[in-house]
């Protein structure tokens, strides 16, 4: 490839230093600029080989490389070639653990899935959550649940993970969690899960509902499959699994009395893209994206839609505690947390709300506190002892959200362009434990170059 051919990439930060590879944060989208022609590449990027002709770009979403024509004026997609075993990418360390995706609370600990894996936080003092441990997991983790001494994590999309998976982590010592098993039963990543007894019920996106036996957590076994729809979340009550299907906009009822042979019972069409689901009594509450919360009467195996309770923003997750429904809203310009009085499910009333601009992905309630996993603010701890006036209590957020779009390496220093923070400078002398040395807070910083004692930044705007 000629030096005159520019490549514009908004990508996961991959650092080559002393022969090692350090993957920092995942890609949102990329663009390859061949003069007069542009080739869009969206997904999660894990490796780039810039010296090959024609250019090859690896998308972790597909675990393969689109092969692009080397005609500068007319780049054309030619083929896709897997380099899964040809370009190994090994995680070494990261300074950027961000974007809390889900949370589970047990005792004095909050277990969070973030971009790189599992983070365990000590919440014995809710006003000052502190890091206890971090564990890198393959791919991008999503929902999780802790049962006994094990954390069960849904996710997928990593460079060495070709499909949907379940990761089982021994958390008997929260300061030293250890992966004890990985299961990859299908072609899609998994969105969420619920654990009931000796079974994990996996919402496996386009693979439907997967039932995994975990009587021995170190040796999970795929038991049964309900192969329909793009399952986003699941709750199990008694003999029935209530499944939230995403773009197909249905809620499904599945008989799981025999886990090896799940049987279709019924489907109910909902208005919008379905995400999280919570079941309490005779009602199911479904996070219904732009259409608020769908309230469904499940007193019969043929459920009926009661109403869609309107909420501004994209509703991503829901949980029920007592007479209240806690709603995670995934749009930063609106409230992150809504508290709805559902003592009468036929007539829900908003009781209170909290806004941080964090973009919420998940919510759990433990005692007087709501724990909200957010994209930009990390883990938020909200005092909900007075549901009509929820108040900020504490936060755990090592790094704000946003995109890492560029890096410059000079000796042991890494100069990182961050869309939310600006320029960050890290000491990389110990690659497994990068240390932040300083920050130049220019907002929306997308590129940088370092020469001598000066760094030159490309920013969308500048903070005075």
pLDDT tens-digit series, residues 314-348: 999 999 999 999 999 987 676 789 999 999 999 99
- Paired tokens of 46: 């894990």
Examine the domain organization and report whether 315 and 425 are in the same domain. no
3-class DSSP assignment, residue 161: coil
Range of the domain at 121: 102-396
**Average pLDDT of the segment spanning 174-178:** 96
Examine the domain organization and report whether 74 and 107 are in the same domain. no
User: Smallest Cα–Cα separation from 145: which of 217, 82, 83, 81?
Assistant: 217
- What pLDDT was estimated at residue 209? 95
Using the predicted structure, report yes or no on whether residue 79 has a pLDDT greater than 50.
no
Domain final position from 93, 120, 152: 93
| Those residues with Cβ within 8 angstroms of residue 156's Cβ, 6 or more apart along the chain or in another chain | 139, 140, 142, 163, 164, 165, 188, 189, 190
pLDDT band at 457 (very low <50, low <70, confident <90, very high): confident
Examine the domain organization and report whether 15 and 129 are in the same domain. no
Examine the domain organization and report whether 236 and 383 are in the same domain. yes
- The average confidence (pLDDT) of the chain is 77
**Average pLDDT of the segment spanning 145-156:** 94
Examine the domain organization and report whether 210 and 278 are in the same domain. yes
Contact predicate 252/245, CB 8 Å: yes
pLDDT band at 20 (very low <50, low <70, confident <90, very high): very low
Phi, psi at 112, each rounded to 5°: -120, 135
d(CA 301, CA 304): 9
Least confident of 2-11, 287-296, 307-316: 2-11
3-class DSSP assignment, residue 342: coil
**Average pLDDT of the segment spanning 207-236:** 95
- What pLDDT was estimated at residue 272? 86
Examine the domain organization and report whether 242 and 111 are in the same domain. yes
Phi, psi at 271, each rounded to 5°: -75, -35
Examine the domain organization and report whether 266 and 134 are in the same domain. yes
How many of the other CB atoms lie within 10 Å of CB of 219? Answer: 12
- What pLDDT was estimated at residue 33? 32
pLDDT tens sequence across 421-449: 677 788 878 776 777 787 776 556 667 77
- What pLDDT was estimated at residue 70? 47
Task: Identify the residue with better confidence: 52 or 437.
Answer: 437
d(CA 144, CA 121): 15
DSSP assignment string, 424-462:
EEEE-SSTTS-EEEEEE--SSEEEEEEETTEEEEEESS-
Examine the domain organization and report whether 135 and 25 are in the same domain. no
- Name the most confidently modeled range: 268-277, 345-354, 412-421: 345-354
How many of the other CB atoms lie within 10 Å of CB of 2? Answer: 7
Examine the domain organization and report whether 16 and 146 are in the same domain. no
Examine the domain organization and report whether 301 and 195 are in the same domain. yes
Tokens 């938020």 locate to 380
Q: Which CATH number characterizes residue 247's domain?
A: 2.130.10.10
- What pLDDT was estimated at residue 76? 45
How many of the other CB atoms lie within 10 Å of CB of 277? Answer: 27
- What pLDDT was estimated at residue 334? 67
d(CA 345, CA 438): 51
Beta strands in 281-378 (DSSP E): 283-287, 293-297, 304-309, 315-321, 324-329, 337-341, 349-354, 360-366, 369-374
Domain final position from 377, 396, 415: 396
pLDDT tens sequence across 349-405: 999 999 887 789 999 999 999 999 988 778 899 999 999 999 999 988 766 555 666
Length, in residues, of the chain: 464
Domain final position from 356, 378, 396: 396
Using the predicted structure, report yes or no on whether residue 454 has a pLDDT greater than 90.
no
DSSP state of 310: -
- What pLDDT was estimated at residue 332? 63
Examine the domain organization and report whether 445 and 326 are in the same domain. no
User: Smallest Cα–Cα separation from 320: which of 365, 270, 350?
Assistant: 365
With pLDDT > 90 as the criterion, what percentage of the chain qualifies?
A: 48
Contact predicate 377/430, CB 8 Å: no
* Domain total in the chain: 3
- What pLDDT was estimated at residue 396? 86
pLDDT band at 91 (very low <50, low <70, confident <90, very high): low
Examine the domain organization and report whether 62 and 173 are in the same domain. no
- What pLDDT was estimated at residue 93? 58
3-class DSSP assignment, residue 52: coil
d(CA 193, CA 149): 17
């Amino acid at each position: 490839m000629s030096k005159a051919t520019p490549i514009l990439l908004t990508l996961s930060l991959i650092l080559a230093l002393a022969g090692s590879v350090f993957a920092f944060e995942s890609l949102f989208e990329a663009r390859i600029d061949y003069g007069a022609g542009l080739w869009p590449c969206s997904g999660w990027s894990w490796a780039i080989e810039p010296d090959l002709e024609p250019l090859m770009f690896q998308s972790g979403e597909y675990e393969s490389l689109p092969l692009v024509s080397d005609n500068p004026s007319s780049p054309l997609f030619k083929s896709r070639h897997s380099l899964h075993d040809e370009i190994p990418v090994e995680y070494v360390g990261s300074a950027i653990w961000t974007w809390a995706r889900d949370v589970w609370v047990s005792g004095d600990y909050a277990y969070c899935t973030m971009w790189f894996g599992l983070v365990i936080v000590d919440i014995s003092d809710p006003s000052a959550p502190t890091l206890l441990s971090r564990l890198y997991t393959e791919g991008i983790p999503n929902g999780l649940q802790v049962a006994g001494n094990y954390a069960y994590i849904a996710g997928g999309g990593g460079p060495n993970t070709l499909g949907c998976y379940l990761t089982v982590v021994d958390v008997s010592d929260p300061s030293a969690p250890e992966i004890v098993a990985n299961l990859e039963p299908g072609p899609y990543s998994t969105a969420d899960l619920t654990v009931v007894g000796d079974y994990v019920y996996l919402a496996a996106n386009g693979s439907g509902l997967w039932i995994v036996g975990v009587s021995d957590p170190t040796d999970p076994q795929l038991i049964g499959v309900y192969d329909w729809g793009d399952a986003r979340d699941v709750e199990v009550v008694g003999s029935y699994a209530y499944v939230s299907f995403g773009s197909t906009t249905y809620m499904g009822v599945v008989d799981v009395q025999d886990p090896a042979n799940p049987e279709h019972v019924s489907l109910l069409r909902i208005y919008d893209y379905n995400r999280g689901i919570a079941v309490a009594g005779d009602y199911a509450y479904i996070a219904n994206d732009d259409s608020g919360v769908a309230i469904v009467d499940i007193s019969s195996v043929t459920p009926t839609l009661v109403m869609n309770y309107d909420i501004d923003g994209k509703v991503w997750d829901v949980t029920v505690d007592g007479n209240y429904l806690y709603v995670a809203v995934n749009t930063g310009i609106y409230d992150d947390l809504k508290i709805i009085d559902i003592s009468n499910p036929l007539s829900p009333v908003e009781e209170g709300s909290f806004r941080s601009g964090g973009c919420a992905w998940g919510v759990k309630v433990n005692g007087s506190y709501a724990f909200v996993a957010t994209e930009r603010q990390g883990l938020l701890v909200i005092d909900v002892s007075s549901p009509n006036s929820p108040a900020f209590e504490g936060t755990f957020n090592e790094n704000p959200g946003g995109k890492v779009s560029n890096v410059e390496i000079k000796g042991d220093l890494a100069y990182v362009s961050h869309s939310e923070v600006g320029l960050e400078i890290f000491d990389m002398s110990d690659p497994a434990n990068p240390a932040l040395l300083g920050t130049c807070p220019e907002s929306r910083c997308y590129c940088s170059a370092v020469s001598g004692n000066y760094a030159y930044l490309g920013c969308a705007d500048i903070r005075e």
